[in-house]
Amino acid sequence: MSTEQQYFENAKPLTQYMDDMTTKKEESFSIYNKFDVPADDEFIEVLKEKTPHILVITEDWCGDAMMNNAILRKIAEAANIEVRAVYRDENLDLIDQHLTNGGRSIPVYLLLNRDGEVVSKWGPRAELVQQFVMDGRAKFPAKEDPSFEEIQKEFYAQMTNEFVSNQEFHLAVYEGIRNTWIQALQK
């Protein structure tokens, strides 16, 4: 079985991944173009100093990945660090080592130190975004209800719109990544 560092070495750069997207590409680039990394943040300086690598486990059909990958790309560009992406569905051995609550939820971001060891993991959602999703799903009727599919479809459309336009969500993703990784990097 490959190590995370070996997956990283064989993965495509996040920039290429985003260019190759076939689903939610326009939305992801909209987020990318709107989001700016907060100025004077010590997190970016720590990333520059420690020069970690980041391995992304993702798929372009995923709404969370659509938003989070665009923000991660901005972080990587600000810190001049390398981020590479692998597709979850083609790398089940890898995602199965990094499950979220027993599921293959994505995106998952693995922070690798200079030796290629995983020192931290983040994903798939910031807490604020998770609360929004949970609150929305709580309003769904039972799956057997004839209106379930329509209500679910409407919520997913609303969710995509919020992911693209809600700058509080974008900042929450940034802060979630920052707060998780800065501790790992300062050890």
pLDDT at 40: 73
- Round to whole Å and give the CA distance between 123 and 82: 18
Angle, alpha carbons 15-107-50 (nearest 5°) = 65
Average the pLDDT over 143-156 and give the result: 95
Cβ 27 vs Cβ 61: under 8 Å? no
The pLDDT tens digits for 74-91 are: 999 999 999 999 999 999
**β partners of residue 53:** 82, 112
pTM over the 0.85 mark: yes
pLDDT at 41: 80
Q: Which amino acid is at 71?
A: I
Cα dihedral angle (142, 61, 154, 164), rounded to 10 degrees?
A: 130
- Round to whole Å and give the CA distance between 113 and 79: 15
The pLDDT tens digits for 7-54 are: 999 999 999 999 999 999 999 999 999 999 998 789 999 999 999 999
pLDDT at 1: 78
The pLDDT tens digits for 79-122 are: 999 999 999 999 999 999 999 999 999 999 999 998 999 999 99
For the domain 4-125+170-185, what is the CATH code?
A: 3.40.30.10
Domain boundaries, the chain: 4-125+170-185
Quick check: 123 pLDDT over 90? yes
Quick check: 144 pLDDT over 90? yes
pLDDT at 36: 95
